[in-house]
Structure 1
Amino acid sequence: MKSATLLIAIVFVSSFLEMAAQATSEDQLKETITNLDAEYFEAYNTCNMEKQAEMYAEDLEFYHDKGGLSTSKQDLLESLKKNICGKVTRELVEGSIEVYPINGFGAVEIGLHKFHNNQEPDAISKPGKFIMIWQQTDSIWKITRVISLH
């Protein structure tokens, strides 16, 4: 009887420790992706094209509900420079980021953000949903896919 109780206790403690380690790992992943999101959109808001280019993967796919699909990293960067720089800023809806690991690849980030057009300062910005797929190679994270919905 004592050995069965001890076995149950060991299994319970082992399961608890595994869940705690997984929660810590998921918390660390969320912190990493949240920081990367902030880093990317700081570059976006300040028109740091070099930093934006550095954070995008070469095989980037950018899906925009209004603009369609872009599969050219260079075309996307040129469009951002021409249409966004100095005109539009992005604001994250605080607390909206969700992060999910993709085993052996990286992570999925889902959240809400607003865009403010300085050409229309009185326009009301409504939150839109975004999904970004992040790939980790060694310690380097790159944005491989973006879905932007407004």
Structure 2
Amino acid sequence: MLSLLLAAALAQGTASPIPTDAATLRADIQAADTAFFTLFFERCDPDALSEMVAPDFEMYHDRDGVVARDGKSFIALYAQGCAARSRPDAWRSRRALVEDSLKVEPVPGFGAIEEGEHLFYERKGDGPERLVGRARFVQLWQKDGQGPWRLARVLSLSHRAVD
């Protein structure tokens, strides 16, 4: 009996602190989503991005195919994009979540599934920004212990141009 109690206590101490309240979970995931995409599209900090993705990160894209099969290769692709965006006349992109499309479901003992739509904007250099596309996404977020939410899997699909 003592060993069962000890095992239960240890399991509780290592359980992921995934919010059980739907509103809190949604707010947490939306904040992680915003931080990730702001960093990815509008800043250049590979070290910060590496803290936001799981080591076994995978991304699949309906136009680009298999984008990454691990976190390191994804960070390397991001760093290459950063270098290209540093030119004054480079194309720059921004992503905006369509908030009313956002759905978040818990994955007990692991994290959460996020699903929704987003819009993409582009501008050349410091030129005017324009809406250029819309897509759907499904993302799997992981929460280990007291650490941050980390993006583990991404499915990016239904990309279409916006006129």
TM range (shorter): 0.7 to 0.9
Superposed, which structure 2 residues align to 1:35-74 within 5 Å? 35-44=31-40, 45-69=42-66, 70-74=68-72
* Partner SS for 1:118: strand
Equivalent pairs, count: 127
Query: What is the alpha-carbon root mean square deviation over aligned residues?
Result: 2.1
Q: What residue in structure 2 maps to residue 97 of structure 1? A: 102
Note the residue ranges of structure 1 that are not aligned, 5 or more in a row. 1-23
- In terms of mean alpha carbon deviation, does 136-145 or 85-94 score higher? 85-94
The 5 A counterparts of 1:1-150 are 25-44=21-40, 45-69=42-66, 70-83=68-81, 86=85, 87-119=92-124, 124-140=131-147, 141-149=149-157, 150=159
What letter matches 1:143 in structure 2?
L
Task: Choose 1 or 2 for highest CA Rg.
Answer: 1
Larger mean CA deviation between 33-42 and 120-129 belongs to 120-129
Q: Give the % identical residues.
A: 31
Report if the CA contact (8 A) 1:43-1:49 is conserved: no
Distance in 1 of aligned mates of 2:132 and 2:53: 26
Which is strand-richer, 1 or 2? 2
Cα distance in structure 2, aligned partners of 1:134 and 1:121:
34
Runs (4+) of structure 1 moved beyond 6 Å?
none
| TM-score normalised by length of structure 1 | 0.74
TM-score of the superposition, structure 2-length normalised? Answer: 0.69
Per chain length, whose mean CA-contact separation is higher, i.e. which structure has more relative contact order (CA < 8 Å, sep 6+)?
2
> How many angstroms does 1:49 deviate by?
2.2
Gaps of 5+ in 2: 1-19, 86-91
Q: Which amino acid aligns with 2:32?
A: L
Can you list the C-alpha shifts for 1:102-125, whole angstroms capped at 9, x where unaligned? 111110000111222323957642
Higher helix share: 1
